Amino acid sequence: MQIPVSEIHEIIDREADDEGSIISALEKVQQHYRYLPKEALILASQRLGVPLSQAYAVATFYNAFSLKPKGKYCLQICMGTACHVRGSPQLLDQMETKFNIKAGETTPDHLFTLETVNCLGACALGPIVVVNDEYSGQMTVQKSDALMKRLIRKEGLD
Amino acid sequence: MASIHTAQELDTWRESLAAKVNPDLPLITVCGGTGCRVYGSEQVWTAFQDELTNQKADARLNYDVKVTGCHGFCEKGPLVVIRPQGIMYTNVKVSDVAEIVGETIAKNKVIERLLYVDPQTNEEIKCEQDVPFYKHQHRLILGLNGLLDPTRIEEYISQGGFDSLKKVLTSLSPDDVIEEMKKSGLRGRGGAGFPTGFKWELCRQQPGDVKYVICNADEGDPGAYMDRSIMEGNPHLVLEGMIIGAYAMGAKQGYVYIRNEYPLAVKHLRLAISQAEDVGLLGENILDSGFDFTVKIKLGSGAFVCGEETALIASIEGQIGEPRPRPPYPAEFGLWGKPTNINNVKSWASVPIIIDKGSDWYASIGTETSKGTVIFSVVGNINNTGLVEVPIGISLRELIFDIGGGIPNGKSFKAAQIGGPSGGCIPAEHLDIPIDYESLQSLGAIMGSGGLVVADEDTCMVDFAAYFMRFTQEESCGKCVPCRVGTKAMLETLERICAGDGRPGDVDYLIELGEEIKRSSLCGLGQTAPNPVLSTIRYFRDEYEAHIVDKTCPAKVCKGLITYSVIEENCTGCMVCLRNCPEGAIQGKKKEVHVIDAAICTRCGMCMSVCKFDAILVE
Ligand SMILES: Cc1cc2nc3c(=O)[nH]c(=O)nc-3n(C[C@H](O)[C@H](O)[C@H](O)COP(=O)(O)O)c2cc1C
Ligand code: SF4
Ligand code: SF4
Ligand code: FES
Ligand code: FES
């Protein structure tokens, strides 16, 4: 992907007046691109006068940042305690097998990213699976199988 | 929006807001908490609005409808409560809306189908306050959550909001406030339970003009969501508490450190801050007292350790969130080296209530050493999942059976895990203990920040302990060796046990290592990380031994110790399992008994959940 420098500058400048701004700035960049392009890290460190090593340390320390682009569909499986006792590890296993990737990885065709998250605040409906911000509750292996098949079909990969 | 410069103006505004409320107008509150949203409560709310505009010609059908924060009883969402009667409807769908308006609003007729049915008595219960889930609670902090539109400061004001602030700024000195807090007996609700008044006093006594107050809304416990619900449902309550605290300690700047993963809470908090600024309850010379205070939001970026106060401070400063040794405590050397006071969301939210009702009243709730109410998010294998606020000191049994409605599917209670990754479990034999700081600690659990997970007979306690260990191991910041290396070693041992490769001596090794990590880690994460393991060993050592010696998982959870097979008598040869097995581990012809090849089977459980004839056996 071509990264527009001016756009990143704009995002960073909007956050730059604040103290400790590298984290907020990177958060905004992450929000915008759904990952942190390498260029953005360099630009942010230059723009904010923070050593690149610190920018990199921040980007790798916090779970919210990803240095790799995400797939078209980001599937998040809640691994919070409530979802765990109601069977979310099975769902994760199942998805890992289906897409042949581990949690945190993206399929080589850049379609699917698998992620785990901790408690989304909807424990009563656990286990929860979120696909690009859309929540599905009370998931079972069957329902999640259907969900994956639907996405795969939509992409014409069946 | 009004502009409030004096206490007098606040009163006048409140009166004028109250005067505008028509007490005869029915009020429909739709829960807008995360749980109910997932069930579709936003659409329900829209439908009520549409219904209103469609039927406006008929004056009888006029009503007010609003979206509130989480009502607490998430299990039954979307929840709709109709006031003034307090009629509670559960699992409301868009298709129910016209009927609710046509029957309940227009004719005051209750729709029985939508009422909550008490599973014990099979009785329909009409009003929210009579539902057992609510009846045994004491909802102080959560009290207004189901009533207010959190996006409008007017609603909070008309319910008496900021009256405590007024009282403080017009009639109490900072020392008076601190005295009240000390007398109330409030202990921090973020985990450690340190007395709030004393912490404030320490911060107040520090020299210097620049001090900070911080609200810890990082809510790291992966099974708790009450801080989020308070921020979403009643953000002004937290702000009011912070303003009062800042006045008492002499801080002019506050921060709320809130998780990035909580977009709705962040949105409502932002709104609350900007509205409070607009009316003059944040900013310069608040209520003409000469006291200035502003609040900024800082987003946490998903690191459990950042809930620890020194790591949180580092994170606000733009550093990576590594804890540092204490002392010096934040009260002496905190944010940017200045005296800083950090409290949890619930602690801040308790402040206006204590000031309003008085410390004596507050201290009359609870036990000798633990005062007030505590909020639990009760989750796991329990009938009534939700947020529960109870006086400290009620028994675990009351909490789980009277309020929580017991264990679903006729299963039996095994343990309650309290305090999340830093906590421990309480087994059935201790169900009657009072829930307070000391009792929990004596049993190896902690009050923590309020996560309470119920485990039934199908929960493997070794697997459960491994779950928490995996969590803390991943979240260890890695700064100190005992935590970084020790949690890893513990996790590897647990995983080995679960995989069926446990060795004699493993349990003693876990205990020894756990004690060592607790003793020598730098911060609370490491110091408490072994707790879930140690406490499960304390009460369920036989389960560990079964894994290690007998190579069985009594709860039939651990994959290395179970096998799937087909029960010949039950199998009809319907082929459903064969078609669904992701590994192709099942063979068989139509109408013939199927067989599972154990060598290929990954124990995913799919066949078991698709078989309609109970023909899959796991042992
Ligand atoms: C690893 C770790 C995580 C923590 N997470 C939180 C948290 O999410 N929320 C919180 O309020 N306190 C958390 N704490 C406790 C805080 O360090 C601190 O004690 C608390 O915010 C003080 O507020 P209180 O006195 O009102 O409880 C955590 C502590 C540790 C060691
Ligand atoms: S105890 Fe763990 S989390 Fe705390 S400082 Fe040490 S390594 Fe980091
Ligand atoms: S448990 Fe899973 S892998 Fe094993 S036979 Fe059943 S469906 Fe196939
Ligand atoms: S644990 Fe999954 S939503 Fe709470
Ligand atoms: S989200 Fe509606 S009751 Fe909790």
Give the gap in angstroms from C-alpha B504 to the nearest C-alpha of chain A: 28
- Chain B interface test: which of A54, A81, A92 (most B C-beta within 10 Å): A81
A54 and A80, same domain (yes or no)? no
Give the gap in angstroms from C-alpha A30 to the nearest C-alpha of chain B: 11
Q: Is residue A110 part of a domain?
A: yes
Q: Are B372 and B183 in contact (CB under 8 A)?
A: no
Average pLDDT over residues B94-107: 93
Q: Is residue A21 part of a domain?
A: yes
Cα dihedral B23, B28, B29, B30 in deg (nearest 10)? -170
Q: How confident is the model at residue A5 (pLDDT cuts 50, 70, 90)?
A: confident
Nearest CA in chain B to A85: B380
A83 lines ligand 4 (CB under 6 A): yes
Q: Which of A61, A84, A104 is the last residue of a domain?
A: A61
A94 and A126, same domain (yes or no)? yes
Q: Is residue A117 part of a domain?
A: yes
Cβ distance A141 to B228 less than 8 Å, yes or no, reads: no
A29 and A49, same domain (yes or no)? yes
Query: Which positions in chain B touch A25 (Cβ < 8 Å)?
Result: none
Query: Which positions in chain B touch A94 (Cβ < 8 Å)?
Result: 582, 604, 606
A117 and A87, same domain (yes or no)? yes
What is the full DSSP assignment across B357-414?
Answer: H-HHHHHTSB-SSSBSEEEEEEEES-SS-EEEEEETT-BHHIIIIIIT---GGG--EE
Query: Residue A139 Cα, ligand 4 centroid: separation in angstroms?
Result: 12
Beta-strand pair A134-136/A129-131: antiparallel
Query: Which positions in chain B touch A61 (Cβ < 8 Å)?
Result: 303, 320-321, 477
Q: How confident is the model at residue B358 (pLDDT cuts 50, 70, 90)?
A: very high
Q: How confident is the model at residue B57 (pLDDT cuts 50, 70, 90)?
A: low
Instruction: Fill in the amino acid letter for B206.
Output: Q
Question: What's the confidence (pLDDT) of residue B600?
Answer: 93
Q: Is residue A149 part of a domain?
A: yes
A140 and A110, same domain (yes or no)? yes
Q: How many domains does chain A have?
A: 2
Q: Does B419 touch chain A (CB under 8 A)?
A: no
Residue among B35, B381, B459 whose CB faces A125 most closely? B35
Q: Any idea which residue has 């700035």 for tokens? A: A25
* Nearest one of B372, B1, B358, B361 to B157, comparing CA atoms: B1
Q: Is residue A68 part of a domain?
A: no
Question: What's the confidence (pLDDT) of residue B23?
Answer: 85
Rounded to an integer, what distance in angstroms lies between the CA atom of residue B223 and that of residue A86?
12
- Confidence check: pLDDT of B601 > 70: yes
Q: Which of A61, A86, A101 is the last residue of a domain?
A: A61
Distances (CA, A) of A56 to A26, A30, B256: 10, 14, 25
B323 lines ligand 2 (CB under 6 A): yes
Give the gap in angstroms from C-alpha A131 to the nearest C-alpha of chain B: 13
A77 and A149, same domain (yes or no)? yes
Q: Is residue A31 part of a domain?
A: yes
Average pLDDT over residues B346-365: 98
Summarize pLDDT for A48-101 with one digit per residue, the tens: 888 999 899 999 998 889 898 999 999 999 999 989 988 898 899 889 988 999
Question: What's the confidence (pLDDT) of residue B24?
Answer: 86
Chain A residues 26-65 with a CB less than 8 Å from chain B: 27, 50, 54, 57-58, 61-65
Summarize pLDDT for A95-132 with one digit per residue, the tens: 998 899 999 999 999 999 999 988 888 888 889 999 99
Question: What's the confidence (pLDDT) of residue B27?
Answer: 94
Give the gap in angstroms from C-alpha B202 to the nearest C-alpha of chain A: 26
A42: left (phi over 0), alpha (psi -120 to 50) or beta: alpha
> Domains of chain B by range and CATH?
24-83+87-126 (3.40.30.10), 159-363 (3.40.50.11540), 373-456 (3.10.20.600), 461-550 (1.20.1440.230), 563-618 (3.30.70.20)
Summarize pLDDT for B149-178 with one digit per residue, the tens: 999 999 999 999 999 999 999 999 999 999
Q: Is residue A67 part of a domain?
A: no
Question: What's the confidence (pLDDT) of residue B59?
Answer: 56
Ligand 4 pocket test: which of A91, A92, A128, A129 has the largest number of ligand atoms within 8 Å of its C-beta? A128
ipTM value for the complex: 0.89
A103 and A147, same domain (yes or no)? yes
Q: Is the dihedral of CA B244, B259, B488, A123 positive or negative?
A: positive
Q: Are A48 and A25 in contact (CB under 8 A)?
A: yes
Please count the other Cβ atoms lying within 10 Å of the Cβ belonging to residue A53: 9
Greatest extent of chain A over all pairs of C-alpha atoms, in Å: 51
Question: What's the confidence (pLDDT) of residue B606?
Answer: 84
Q: Is residue A150 part of a domain?
A: yes
Question: What's the confidence (pLDDT) of residue A158?
Answer: 63
A79 and A52, same domain (yes or no)? no
Question: What's the confidence (pLDDT) of residue B449?
Answer: 85
Residue B195: DSSP 8-state: B
A85 and A129, same domain (yes or no)? yes
- Confidence check: pLDDT of B610 > 90: no
Nearest CA in chain B to A86: B380
* Nearest one of B435, B380, B445, B434 to B407, comparing CA atoms: B380
Average pLDDT over residues B252-256: 97
CATH code assigned at A129: 3.40.30.10
A97 and A33, same domain (yes or no)? no
Residue among A23, A81, A93 whose CB faces B451 most closely? A81
Give the gap in angstroms from C-alpha B356 to the nearest C-alpha of chain A: 30
Question: What's the confidence (pLDDT) of residue A156?
Answer: 80
**B132-141, B342-351, B355-364, B445-454: the lowest-pLDDT one:** B445-454
- Chain A interface test: which of B38, B212, B417, B580 (most A C-beta within 10 Å): B38
| Tokens coding B462 | 């070794």
Average pLDDT over residues A31-47: 88
- Looking at the CA of A85, which ligand is closest? 4
B336 in helix, strand or coil?
helix
Question: What's the confidence (pLDDT) of residue A18?
Answer: 64
Cβ distance B471 to A118 less than 8 Å, yes or no, reads: yes
Distances (CA, A) of B361 to B13, B167, B185, B560: 28, 17, 11, 55
Q: Which of A23, A39, A61 is the last residue of a domain?
A: A61
Q: How confident is the model at residue B227 (pLDDT cuts 50, 70, 90)?
A: very high
Residue among A62, A82, A126 whose CB faces B303 most closely? A62
Summarize pLDDT for B471-493 with one digit per residue, the tens: 999 999 999 999 999 999 999 99
Q: Find the domain containing A9 and state its range.
A: 5-61
- Looking at the CA of B384, which ligand is closest? 5
Average pLDDT over residues B213-231: 93
- Confidence check: pLDDT of A1 > 70: no
A130 and A99, same domain (yes or no)? yes
Instruction: Work out the mean pLDDT of chain A and round it to a whole number.
Output: 87
A78 and A144, same domain (yes or no)? yes
**pTM of the complete model:** 0.94
Instruction: Work out the mean pLDDT of chain B and round it to a whole number.
Output: 94
